[in-house]
Amino acid sequence: MKSLAQQHHSITGLGIMQLREIIAVALSSLRANKLRSGLTMLGIIIGIAAVITVVGLGLGAQRAIDARLAQLGTRLLRVDPERQRRGGVQWEEAKRLTISDAAALAERGRHIAAVQPQTDRTMQVVYGNRNTSSRIVSTSSNFPLVRGFRLAAGRMFRPAENASMRRVAVLGASVVRDLGYSSPATLVGERIRIGGRLFEVIGVLEARGRAPMGGDPDNQVLVPLLTGRFRLFGTDRLEDIYVLATSEAAIPLAMAEIQTVLRREHRLMPGTANDFRVRNQSDFLTVASETTQTFTYLIAGIAAVSLVVGGIGIMNIMLVSVTERTREIGIRKALGATRRVILLQFLAESVFTSMVGGIVGVLAGVTSILVVRESFGMNAALAPAAIVGAVLFAGVIGIVFGVWPARRAARLDPIHALRYE
């Protein structure tokens, strides 16, 4: 009489042998119908690749927003004119921000560290036989401090150059590239034309990269505030005033000071609505981050629908396979195969089909992310959690949509199966 240990070893060995046989038969069946198996996997491949790509793009955008927030800091406030609507048409108030408003903020704001006024227009920049369309920003010399930019070459214009309305300019990195040069220092000391007027290039800003919600902050040319006012734009009105609070904790106090000073400057009566807006840049980027995340989940959910469609395709093909192999099932049952063995065999085929499709889909998704990032310069990142989750979900799809065909095969009567033509 065998001992319990010997009986356990015998049963375990028999289970492993059956498992190996089930896997071998499943793989043999898939190899025998390569084209059909490949087409069956296509829905899973597309779904997995789409999910990984979309989640990767969303993660890349999220990281870009975080990096942008780190560059700006959380102390930056933006003041711009309030835009109102009448008759469904957006229009701007006649009273707008002026240079005197910026001076008042700098003078009276106890919780304001720096004030950077600006006016901008899109104009042609010409150097030699090359030209490009860029945003010309008429601003103060503290632009790099307030906006978090650094100089790659040269210097920023000085307050004295602003007071004397010198025609000097600091170029963004994209402008240098668009004018046909790659080295930031190449154009320093050279003369360019802006709006038909000669300007001396005294500096080049470091590249910042594309903004998370679109736009190119490197495609700009900085000129002194008074130079832009009198030599280019002919106006003392400002598009924006950027304010740097003394600390994060002082942001509410700084915002209150801005409202108090500007309402007094604009002579607004109590109860009258502000004709300007004060916005926190970190709040704006937080909204952008939440919007990006929402769209990522939405598009990923839509892409995941193709996984369900792929699972339905697997179920259909497995049902066809059960019908085609009815006699084979009858023979296997006649030779002693149990319902459990038949069920596991067809379930294994379904899971293998789904898992192989999932692995190929992962490779396709990773490749697409690399192509998008390297070829198109878009923010994209690999999300390990999405990859692992996609493969596991593919396995679940194989099990869920393979159970019904497998049970149908396992329940076939061997006598009727042997008679099936």
- Between CA 162 and CA 154 the distance in angstroms is 17
Using one digit for the tens of pLDDT, what is the confidence trace for 56-92?
887 777 777 666 655 555 688 899 887 655 554 445 4
Distance CA 335, CA 333 (A): 5
Contact partners, residue 187, CB within 8 Å, separation at least 6: 127, 171, 176, 179, 181, 201, 204
Q: Report the sign of the C-alpha dihedral through residues 126, 130, 134, 139, in that order.
A: negative
| 321, 379: one domain | yes
Q: Is the pLDDT of residue 11 over 50?
A: no
What is the number of residues in the chain?
A: 421
253 contacts: CB under 8 Å, gap ≥ 6:
111, 245
pLDDT of residue 10: 36
User: Looking at the structure, do residues 107 and 51 belong to the same domain, yes or no?
Assistant: no
Check residue 329 and give its pLDDT.
72
Please check whether residues 357 and 398 belong to one and the same domain: yes
Please tell me whether residues 31 and 153 are part of one structural domain: no
Q: Are residues 209 and 63 in the same domain?
A: no
Same domain, 127 and 245: yes
208-260 pLDDT tens trace: 866 544 567 889 999 999 999 998 998 888 989 999 988 878 888 999 999 99
Number of domains in the chain: 2
Q: Are residues 214 and 159 in the same domain?
A: yes
Same domain, 260 and 213: yes
Examine residue 78 and state whether it is found in any structural domain, yes or no. Answer: no
User: What is the model's pLDDT at position 3?
Assistant: 41
pLDDT score at 411? 77
350-394 residue pLDDT tens:
888 888 888 888 898 888 888 888 777 677 777 787 788 878 888
pLDDT, the chain, mean: 80
Question: Are 304 and 263 part of one and the same domain?
Answer: no
Q: Is residue 167 part of a domain?
A: yes
Give residue 216's domain range.
96-274
Question: Are both 214 and 253 inside the same structural domain?
Answer: yes
Residue 266: pLDDT over 60: yes
Residue 281 maps to a domain: no
Residues 107 and 227 in one domain: yes
Query: Is residue 279 a part of any domain in this protein?
Result: no
Rounded to an integer, what distance in angstroms lies between the CA atom of residue 60 and that of residue 368? 14
Identify whether residues 267 and 314 lie together within a single domain: no
pTM, entire model:
0.57
Which residues are CB-neighbours of 103 under 8 A, at least 6 positions away?
Answer: none
Cβ atoms of 199 and 169 closer than 8 Å: yes
Among candidate residues 226, 241, 274, the one where a domain is terminated: 274
